[in-house]
Amino acid sequence: MSDRVELYDGAYENYDSDVYRQIRIETYGVDFGQTSWVTTEESDEIPRSLALTCDSSVLEIGCGSGVYALHIAQKFGCHVTGLDINALGIRNANQLALSGGMVQQVRFEECDVSKPLPFADKTFDAVFSNDGGVPHPGKGRPSHRNVPNPEARCGPDVIQ
């Protein structure tokens, strides 16, 4: 038996489905590709609490389908890197970035955040997770602590 449980494959595999889109809109009032319990109001608060600007370099842990990262990048003009362990989510995120002409501003990578992250120290100005329930498959704590710069702002769902 595999140790890996595919909790989100169905949602990401059917991301473009009208049924899934309608469920997200009816549930949240807006479609950010959500699969979490985070409300739209809580999602709106994240960029405000991080004081994002067009000069910000942002890391999203558990980006899923990438729609929220793309929304933030477009709204604030910042650069966003999204990480998620789910290959289908990352595939959708990269397709959306490409089709939206945002590949220069937003990038997505498949990554287990319980392991060392593939970034130099002090890379990011802000780090957040749009879903406090992001699982860490290695059962360790997230390993992002070295990547924010010393003045970086971290969202409330990020262990500091």
Does 138 score more than 70 pLDDT? no
Tell me which long-range contacts 15-21 makes (C-beta under 8 A, separation of at least 24).
15/65, 15/92
Does 143 score more than 70 pLDDT? no
Does 18 score more than 60 pLDDT? yes
Look at residue 100 in the predicted model and tell me its pLDDT. 96
For the segment 75-79, the average pLDDT, to the nearest whole number, is 97
Q: Which domains does the chain have, with CATH numbers?
A: 9-154 (3.40.50.150)
> The whole model's pTM is what?
0.77
Which residue from 146, 149, 156 is spatially nearest to 124, judged by alpha carbons?
149
Q: Which residue has the higher pLDDT, 114 or 69?
A: 69
> To the nearest whole number, what is the mean pLDDT of the chain?
80
